């Protein structure tokens, strides 16, 4: 009987942990006194009211309108880091979602939504099927190349890049190839290639994108000053959440914590941002980092409560263990299983850092072996410079 | 975008001031439903009806209705009040009790705002006065066409059960606000496994069942060494074994009889065919230990141990059933839960007996075994059982 009572308490305890914030706030309803008091700020997408909402149901039935609405939602999801907009994008694609005869455009958008939610394998499946039906779709091939790079399949990425070329988008194809080659260690070639592309592309957002690719390439080449300059140029042309976070990572890595905090401060407070803010504060000796750690824990509880797959956030979880919890063993476990999901340089870096800190030389060697097999060359990875030097000596 | 960013900067500053205060979440859209018994002091809150509190993000509502009426991206209190009647109308169909409860459908009322991790929420309350013996069924379809990953998180307490559920508007069936569902969408195998471990733990932690088992096996001199030579010969048949190893054969018959007994009543009670009140079951379980131990001191040859085990097994089964019913086995998966629970109890029994057999090897060949272990142990068990009996009756 007593046991049984405990049994009942358990979910309640979970609830308190997971929804601590929400429960605390559930006490009293707020009723502002002034009618003009602003109670919520909406992201751009819902500010635009394309025609009458009442006829929206009918409107969205056309693939064109659905694609338009999905693109808007995807844009907001990327800019705000608010995952709910991925759900909205999926809803607008609803009638065509997972349908084998969906128009290519909509299938590609579906895979974009899935990629945004880190569902890389399903995204790849949808994309591959769509491109079989419509091999001339440059956007589709570009997305596929990104997915291949993300999972460390560089030869496949290069194939996708040449398909972009065949689809008639040679500038994008060049950028695609340069990025992949840079991952494989051809940093100097990538640098001059990107600089040429900066002259070819005319629009701000395109140039901002090339600058961010250049910045990442410079990081892999071990040229942090050049990388920082390229990140700044990219962000000046067009602010972007992903690029800002990558910029802050260089600053954190090079010990510019105050500057990293300034970069992070205006960003929407996603888990990735919060984690980096906490890290910077901690390294500066600011005790406030602990409340951010608590927030991250509460968010994890809320995610679990929703039934979301925790493995999709493996990178952030490993970083939390490594940077905030001083638990490299846990970080190594998380980072290693995360490598099954994504294999960007940062993912290898986290795994290697954790292995180093646990003094797990066997694991370190195994990871380095995997990196070598993959063909990734990155100065930030322990042993990466040596590899890079060998590679350039061979060329 | 510039405007939005500067606003965010403002928001971020406020958040830092609040220290652990709300922050924008990195999760999909959630709405929250809290269900509570309306008469807090009552013994059976369902009899007094239930209070429902629903909180929906304003960001989400704006996709359904023009909450931000002037479309400037800033929702004011005035705008929320103006749109409230339309929101309540939507809720009346999208967040409602099932048709079977038609007489007591929810009528939502606007309660105000609520601040949560990812922004401002519209809060509505409703009261269902219907007395109900069945847990209510709730149907939720809000944002079904607008957000594919929207979820409703349900918390609170209905009757005797804490509620902690997650549902999606994409779900076709209504959700029963009956019991916590920490592992949603349980299948037969997970049910079997979950109840197996429940049964196992219950037996190993249920000291009275262990004491009864001990009373049964005490007089059996379970000497492992007497098996010597068994491997050398061909495997004997069961009856030959019985003849050769009478104590082991007796153990097998006794444990099987006990199992048979409690399986019968457990099944009968779980399916609701018989009922037994803990007020007499619990003391009788204590008595069963005392009687069995007493029979070890004064063996009655007309009473076979397995008959005793079977008879008292029936009573112990009612004890198990109470636990299984409290654990609120999902009705569709009841056979699986029952099978799992029984298997768990059996596994627990085997473990306990195996443990006893190993421990007893230290003393089983001593000449004083019958006097000290059997008689002494039985006296101790009688005293313990009588103490429990008094505790349970008073």
- Mutate which: A7, A30, A40, A77, vs B, most B CBs within 10 A: A40
- Dist CA B73 CA A34 (whole Å): 18
User: Distance of CA A81 to CAs A106, A275, B266, B283, B304, Å?
Assistant: 22, 14, 53, 61, 73
pLDDT value, residue B265:
87
A8–B32 C-beta distance less than 8 A:
no
Q: Of A118, A177, A117, A116, nearest to A142 (Cα)? A: A177
| A381 pLDDT higher than 60 | yes
- Dist CA A203 CA A322 (whole Å): 39
A274–B71 C-beta distance less than 8 A:
no
pLDDT value, residue B43:
39
The tokens for A340 are: 């099954």
By CB atoms closer than 10 A (0-12, 13-18, 19+), residue A36 is exposed
Average pLDDT over residues A340-363: 91
Beta-carbon contacts of residue B366 (< 8 Å; ≥ 6 apart) = B372
In the numeric block, the tokens 């888990």 are attached to A271
Q: Can you point out the beta strands (E) in chain B?
A: 30-37, 50-57, 74-76, 95-97, 109-116, 119-128, 137-140, 151-158, 161-167, 175-176
Q: Chain B neighbours among A 68-107 (CB < 8 Å)?
A: 79-84, 86-88, 90-91, 94, 97
User: How far A130 CA lies from chain B's nearest CA (Å)?
Assistant: 22
The tokens for A329 are: 């063993």
Beta-carbon contacts of residue A296 (< 8 Å; ≥ 6 apart) = A271, A274, A275, A278, A320, A324
Q: Of B60, B65, B97, nearest to B84 (Cα)? A: B65
A46–B68 C-beta distance less than 8 A:
yes
The tokens for B368 are: 């004083």
Q: Which residues of B touch A37 (CB under 8 A)?
A: 76-77
Q: Does B88 touch chain A (CB under 8 A)?
A: no
Cα-to-chain-centroid distance, residue A238: 17
Report which of residues A341 and B243 the model is more confident about.
Answer: A341
What letters, b where the CB count within 10 A reaches 16 and e where it falls short, cover B1-40?
eeebeeebeebbeebeeeebebbbbbbbbbbbbbbbbbee
For residue B1, give the nearest of A44, A49, A305 by CB distance. A44
pLDDT value, residue B26:
60
Q: Which residues of A touch B19 (CB under 8 A)?
A: 288, 291
Strand pairing category for B151-158 and B30-37: parallel
- Dist CA A377 CA B347 (whole Å): 55
Question: Largest alpha-carbon pair distance within chain B?
Answer: 96
Three-class DSSP category at B84? helix
Average pLDDT over residues A219-240: 94
Q: What's the first-to-final CA gap in chain B, in angstroms? A: 73
Average pLDDT over residues A72-79: 87
Q: Does B134 touch chain A (CB under 8 A)?
A: no
- Dist CA B181 CA B175 (whole Å): 11
> What is the per-residue pLDDT across A9-66, written as a single tens digit (0 to 9) for each?
333 333 333 333 333 344 578 888 888 899 888 876 565 555 444 444 555 578 888 8
Q: Does A5 touch chain B (CB under 8 A)?
A: no
Nearest CA in chain B to A1: B323
> What is the per-residue pLDDT across A245-290, written as a single tens digit (0 to 9) for each?
999 999 999 999 999 999 999 988 888 999 999 999 999 998 889 8
Cα-to-chain-centroid distance, residue B300: 42
A–B interface: beta-carbon pairs under 8 A: 211
pLDDT value, residue A391:
53
What letters, b where the CB count within 10 A reaches 16 and e where it falls short, cover A272-303?
bbbbbbbbbbbeeeeeebebbbebbebbbbbb
Q: Which residues of chain B have pLDDT under 70?
A: 1-26, 38-48, 99-103, 130-134, 160, 179-186, 225-245, 322-332
pLDDT value, residue B82:
92
Strand pairing category for B50-57 and B30-37: antiparallel
B164–A11 C-beta distance less than 8 A:
yes
Q: Does A24 touch chain B (CB under 8 A)?
A: no
pLDDT value, residue A45:
57
A3–B205 C-beta distance less than 8 A:
yes
Alpha helices in A284-360 (DSSP H): 289-306, 314-319, 328-338, 345-357
Nearest CA in chain A to B20: A291
pLDDT value, residue A195:
95
Alpha helices in A93-240 (DSSP H): 104-116, 120-133, 138-150, 154-166, 170-183, 187-200, 204-221, 224-237
Q: Which residues of B touch A286 (CB under 8 A)?
A: none
> What is the per-residue pLDDT across A119-176, written as a single tens digit (0 to 9) for each?
999 999 999 999 999 999 999 999 999 999 999 999 999 999 999 999 989 999 999 9
The tokens for B334 are: 């009841």
| A116 pLDDT higher than 50 | yes
A14–B182 C-beta distance less than 8 A:
yes
> What is the per-residue pLDDT across B313-358, written as a single tens digit (0 to 9) for each?
998 888 777 666 655 555 567 778 788 888 888 888 889 988 888 8
A19–B59 C-beta distance less than 8 A:
no
Q: Of A302, A310, A364, nearest to B28 (Cα)? A: A302
Q: Does B326 touch chain A (CB under 8 A)?
A: yes
Nearest CA in chain A to B324: A4
Q: Which residues of A touch B182 (CB under 8 A)?
A: 10-11, 14
Q: Chain A neighbours among B 218-247 (CB < 8 Å)?
A: none
User: How far B63 CA lies from chain A's nearest CA (Å)?
Assistant: 7
B26–A272 C-beta distance less than 8 A:
yes
User: Distance of CA A184 to CAs A172, A225, A344, Å?
Assistant: 19, 21, 12
Q: Of A311, A383, A373, A326, nearest to A349 (Cα)? A: A383
Strand pairing category for B137-140 and B109-116: unpaired
Q: For the complex shown, is ipTM > 0.85? A: no
Q: Does A8 touch chain B (CB under 8 A)?
A: yes
The tokens for B191 are: 């049910």
B146–A88 C-beta distance less than 8 A:
yes
A82–B182 C-beta distance less than 8 A:
no
For residue B59, give the nearest of A30, A42, A274 by CB distance. A42
């Amino acid at each position: 009987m007593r046991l049984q009572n405990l049994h009942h308490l358990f979910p309640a305890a979970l609830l308190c942990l997971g929804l601590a914030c929400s429960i605390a706030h559930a006490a009293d309803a707020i009723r502002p006194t002034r009618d003009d008091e602003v109670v919520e700020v909406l992201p751009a997408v819902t500010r635009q009211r394309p025609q009458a909402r009442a006829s929206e149901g009918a409107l969205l039935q056309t693939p064109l309108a659905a694609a338009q609405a999905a693109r808007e939602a995807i844009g907001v999801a990327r800019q705000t880091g608010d995952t709910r907009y991925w759900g909205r994008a999926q809803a607008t694609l609803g009638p065509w979602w997972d349908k084998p005869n969906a128009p290519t455009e909509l299938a590609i958008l579906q895979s974009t939504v899935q990629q945004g939610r880190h569902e890389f394998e399903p995204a790849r499946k949808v994309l591959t099927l769509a491109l079989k039906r419509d091999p001339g779709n440059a956007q589709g091939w570009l997305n596929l190349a990104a997915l291949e790079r993300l999972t460390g399949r560089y030869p496949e990425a290069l194939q996708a890049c040449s398909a972009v070329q065949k689809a008639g988008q040679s500038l994008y194809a060049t950028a695609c190839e340069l990025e992949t080659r840079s991952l494989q260690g051809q940093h100097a070639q990538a640098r001059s290639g990107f600089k040429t592309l900066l002259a070819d592309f005319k629009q701000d957002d395109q140039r901002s994108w090339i600058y961010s690719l250049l910045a990442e390439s410079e990081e892999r080449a071990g040229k942090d000053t050049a990388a920082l300059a390229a990140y700044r140029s990219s962000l000046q042309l067009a602010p972007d959440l992903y690029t800002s976070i990558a910029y802050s990572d260089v600053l954190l890595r090079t010990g510019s914590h105050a500057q990293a905090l300034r970069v992070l401060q205006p960003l929407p407070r996603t888990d990735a941002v919060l984690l980096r803010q906490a890290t910077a504060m901690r390294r500066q000796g600011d005790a406030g980092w602990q409340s951010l750690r608590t927030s991250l824990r509460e968010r994890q509880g809320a995610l679990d409560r929703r039934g979301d797959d925790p493995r999709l956030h493996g990178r952030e979880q490993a970083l939390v263990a490594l940077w905030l919890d001083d638990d490299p063993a846990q970080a190594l476990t998380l980072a290693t299983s995360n490598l099954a999901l994504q294999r960007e340089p940062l993912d290898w870096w986290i795994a290697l850092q954790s292995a180093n800190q646990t003094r797990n030389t066997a694991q370190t060697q195994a990871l380095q072996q995997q990196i070598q097999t993959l063909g990734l060359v990155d100065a930030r990875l322990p042993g990466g410079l040596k590899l890079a030097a060998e590679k350039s000596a061979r060329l | 975008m510039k405007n939005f960013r500067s606003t965010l900067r403002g928001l971020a500053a406020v958040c830092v001031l609040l220290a652990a205060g709300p922050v924008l979440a990195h999760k999909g859209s959630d709405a929250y439903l809290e269900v509570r018994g309306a008469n807090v002091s009552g013994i059976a809150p369902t009899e007094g009806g239930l209070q429902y509190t629903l909180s929906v993000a304003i960001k989400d509502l704006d996709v359904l209705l023009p909450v931000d009426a002037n479309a400037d991206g800033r929702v004011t209190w005035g705008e929320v009040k103006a749109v409230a009647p339309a929101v309540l109308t939507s809720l009346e169909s999208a967040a409602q009790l099932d048709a079977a409860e038609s007489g007591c459908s929810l009528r939502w009322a606007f309660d105000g705002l609520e601040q949560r991790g990812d922004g401002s929420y519209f809060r509505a309350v409703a009261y269902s006065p219907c007395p109900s013996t069945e847990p209510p069924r709730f149907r939720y379809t809000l944002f079904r066409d607008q957000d594919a990953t929207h979820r409703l998180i349900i918390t609170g307490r209905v009757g005797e059960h804490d509620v902690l559920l997650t549902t999606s508007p994409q779900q076709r069936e209504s959700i029963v606000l009956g019991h916590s569902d920490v592992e949603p969408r349980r299948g037969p195998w997970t049910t079997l496994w979950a109840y197996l471990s429940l049964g196992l733990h219950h037996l190993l932690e249920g000291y009275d069942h262990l004491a009864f088992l001990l009373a049964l096996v005490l007089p059996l001199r379970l000497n492992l060494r007497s098996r010597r030579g068994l491997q050398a010969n061909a495997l004997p048949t069961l009856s030959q074994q019985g003849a050769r190893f009478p104590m082991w054969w007796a153990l097998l018959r006794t444990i099987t009889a006990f199992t048979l007994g409690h399986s019968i009543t457990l099944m009968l009670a779980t399916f609701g065919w018989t009922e037994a009140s803990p007020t007499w079951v619990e003391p009788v379980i204590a008595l069963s230990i005392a009687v069995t131990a007493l029979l070890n001191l004064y063996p009655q040859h007309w009473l076979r141990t397995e008959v005793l085990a079977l008879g008292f097994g029936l009573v112990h089964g009612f004890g198990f059933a109470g636990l299984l019913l409290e654990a609120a086995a999902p009705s569709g998966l009841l056979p699986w839960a029952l099978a799992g629970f029984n298997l768990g109890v059996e596994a627990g029994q085997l473990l306990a007996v195996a443990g006893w057999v190993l421990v007893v090897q230290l003393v089983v060949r001593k000449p004083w075994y019958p006097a000290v272990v059997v008689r002494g142990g039985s006296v101790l068990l009688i005293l313990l059982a009588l103490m429990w009996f008094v505790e349970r009756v008073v």
